[in-house]
């Protein structure tokens, strides 16, 4: 049986405990033994290389170097990394090494919550998106700074809400991407502002495919 670690916490507006429970449920259905922790000290106390997958679910916050480095090293050695929304894409804003590993960083959500936007699947034959059609989300629409090395699997069009960024014209912003970090696989999904969005069938399916793909 594969082993997964979910560390949850940080800003409570993203409902980290509820979201962690949903993600754990997906993994348990895929026959993972899942450990959920609400403290970052687990990252320095556990041998992280024992896990096949680590799921960050910690928005903002701060992390000590002796907590972050074991995480970075474990992924480089082959432990998978997968997560969603601010729980992985807006964690530990001062830690550029973490952002480098993840492949991007949240910078804005023009229009804030309640924006209706389309998610476009780029390749419906890809195992990470197979069987999923384009769909609409009413939530935050993440504007990200993205590593050009990532492989993009889904996008969303900007501008959608008013703002000074509109003068730059139309862009397709990555929503789902993958990359490699040493021997490890990294999967990120921008969706999932609150548990209600995570429970959308398309988001659940994307996360199931992504987390199992990223796993060692």
* pLDDT per position as a tens digit, 13-22: 999 999 999 9
**pLDDT the model gives residue 100:** 98
Average pLDDT over residues 136-158: 98
Tokens of 12: 């409570």
Range of the domain at 201: 2-214
**pLDDT the model gives residue 213:** 98
In percent, the amount of the chain with pLDDT more than 90 equals 100
**pLDDT the model gives residue 153:** 98
**pLDDT the model gives residue 193:** 98
**64-70: which pairs have CB atoms within 8 A and are 24 or more residues apart?**
64/40, 67/40, 67/41, 67/43, 68/43, 68/92, 68/95, 68/97, 68/98, 70/43, 70/44
Number of domains in the chain: 1
Average pLDDT over residues 107-117: 98
pLDDT confidence bin for 38, thresholds 50/70/90: very high
Q: What is the CATH number of the domain that holds 156?
A: 3.40.50.880
pLDDT digits (tens, 9 = 90+) for 161-212: 999 999 999 999 999 999 999 999 999 999 999 999 999 999 999 999 999 9
CA dist 85 and 59 (Å) reads 9
Average pLDDT over residues 33-45: 98
User: What are the angstrom distances between the C-alpha of 2 and each of 46, 101, 161, 194, 195?
Assistant: 16, 22, 42, 27, 25
Angle at 195 between CA 194 and CA 197, to 5 degrees: 75
CA dihedral 29, 34, 39, 42 (to 10 degrees): -150
- The gap from C-alpha 47 to its chain's centroid, in whole angstroms, comes to 22
Whole-number mean pLDDT of the chain? 98
CA dist 171 and 158 (Å) reads 5
**pLDDT the model gives residue 175:** 99
CA dist 186 and 214 (Å) reads 6
pLDDT digits (tens, 9 = 90+) for 49-100: 999 999 999 999 999 999 999 999 999 999 999 999 999 999 999 999 999 9
**pLDDT the model gives residue 146:** 98
In percent, the amount of the chain with pLDDT more than 70 equals 100
Number of neighbours of residue 179 by Cβ within 10 angstroms: 18
CA dist 206 and 128 (Å) reads 7
**pLDDT the model gives residue 144:** 98
């Amino acid at each position: 049986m594969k082993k997964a670690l979910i560390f949850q916490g940080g800003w409570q507006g993203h409902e980290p405990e509820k979201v962690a429970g949903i993600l754990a449920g997906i993994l348990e259905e895929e026959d993972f033994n899942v450990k959920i922790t609400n403290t970052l000290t687990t990252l320095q106390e556990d041998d992280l290389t024992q896990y096949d997958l680590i799921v960050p679910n910690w928005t903002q916050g701060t992390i000590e170097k002796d907590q972050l480095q074991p995480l970075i090293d474990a992924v480089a050695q082959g432990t998978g990394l997968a997560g969603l929304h601010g729980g992985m894409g807006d964690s530990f804003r001062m830690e550029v090494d973490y952002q480098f590993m993840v492949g991007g960083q949240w910078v804005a959500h023009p229009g804030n919550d309640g924006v209706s936007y389309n998610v476009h699947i780029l390749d419906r034959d890809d195992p990470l998106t197979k069987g999923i059609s384009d769909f609409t989300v009413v939530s935050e629409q993440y504007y990200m700074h993205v590593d050009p090395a990532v492989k993009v699997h889904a996008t969303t069009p900007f501008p959608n809400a008013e703002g000074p960024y509109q003068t730059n014209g139309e862009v397709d912003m990555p929503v789902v991407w993958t990359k490699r970090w040493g021997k490890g696989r990294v999967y990120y999904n921008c969706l999932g502002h609150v548990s209600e969005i995570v429970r959308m069938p398309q988001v659940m399916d994307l996360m199931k495919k992504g987390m199992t793909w990223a796993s060692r």
